[in-house]
Chain A
Amino acid sequence: GQQLNQSPQSMFIQEGEDVSMNCTSSSIFNTWLWYKQDPGEGPVLLIALYKAGELTSNGRLTAQFGITRKDSFLNISASIPSDVGIYFCAGQLYYKYIFGTGTRLKVLA
């Protein structure tokens, strides 16, 4: 099945550093979603983006819906240890969602 290209696959950062990850696709989407998933748990919605060019923040998280509608990025500022987990993107077109393979984030105190 179709998947989104999400990068990086994993990253180790120091506490306090900023983090950036992105997703790209060959398809156009109506909506981009960003989730965080802890081990053994379900994904939790972080940010939803509904319009091309939209820039939305949720606390230390900022995400943007690419102007071409084929990409999106997520930034985390001033990372803290509890930011550890897997972040993944999802593009939506009507009923269908396509998911990235995730970025595994590890924060070193």
Chain B
Amino acid sequence: DGGITQSPKYLFRKEGQNVTLSCEQNLNHDAMYWYRQDPGQGLRLIYYSQIVNDFQKGDIAEGYSVSREKKESFPLTVTSAQKNPTAFYLCASRHEWVEDSPLHFGNGTRLTVT
């Protein structure tokens, strides 16, 4: 079955450590996104990529980095520069060049930094 796989489901890190969240999709989607979800707030865009080897900063990119070396994969690194990294992180994807292609989400990674 096609879908978006995020791993791990739960991640615990000590403050000061970088951590990488995985996102893989087998939907042949061109565009991939990373969002952060905090209680009581709407999803906020961290980074997005419309094509391999290209990505753009979203609204809250500071303290995060991404890469897009393969169409299927869009890993997110939460660096020690991110002031408040504890959150629920969601990866999403869609067809970029197909009209009326909605955004689909993975099941999320909950990151806790202590």
A70 to chain B, nearest CB (A): 16
Report whether A100 and B42 are in contact in the complex, using a CB–CB cutoff of 8 Å.
yes
Q: Does B27 belong to the interface (CB within 8 Å)?
A: no
Q: Does B90 belong to the interface (CB within 8 Å)?
A: yes
B107 to chain A, nearest CB (A): 4
A48's nearest neighbour on chain B, judged by CB, is: B102
Contact of A99 among B31, B42, B110 (CB under 8 A): B42
Interface residues of B in 71-114 (CB under 8 A from A): 90, 96, 100, 102-108, 110
Report whether B44 and A33 are in contact in the complex, using a CB–CB cutoff of 8 Å.
no
A33 to chain B, nearest CB (A): 6
Report whether B42 and A3 are in contact in the complex, using a CB–CB cutoff of 8 Å.
yes
Interface range for A: 20 to 34
**How many of chain B's residues have a CB under 8 angstroms from any CB in A?**
25
Report whether B50 and A43 are in contact in the complex, using a CB–CB cutoff of 8 Å.
no
Report whether A98 and B42 are in contact in the complex, using a CB–CB cutoff of 8 Å.
yes
Contact of A41 among B43, B50, B60, B108 (CB under 8 A): B108
Main secondary structure of the interface of A (DSSP, over half): strand
Interface residues of B in 46-62 (CB under 8 A from A): 48, 50, 59-60
- The distance in angstroms between the C-alpha atoms of A1 and B44, with both chains bound, is 7
Report whether A50 and B100 are in contact in the complex, using a CB–CB cutoff of 8 Å.
yes
Residues of chain B having any CB pair with chain A under 8 Å: 4, 6, 31, 33, 40-45, 48, 50, 59-60, 90, 96, 100, 102-108, 110
List 4 A-B pairs, minimum CB-CB distance, nearest first: A99-B42, A42-B105, A1-B59, A42-B107
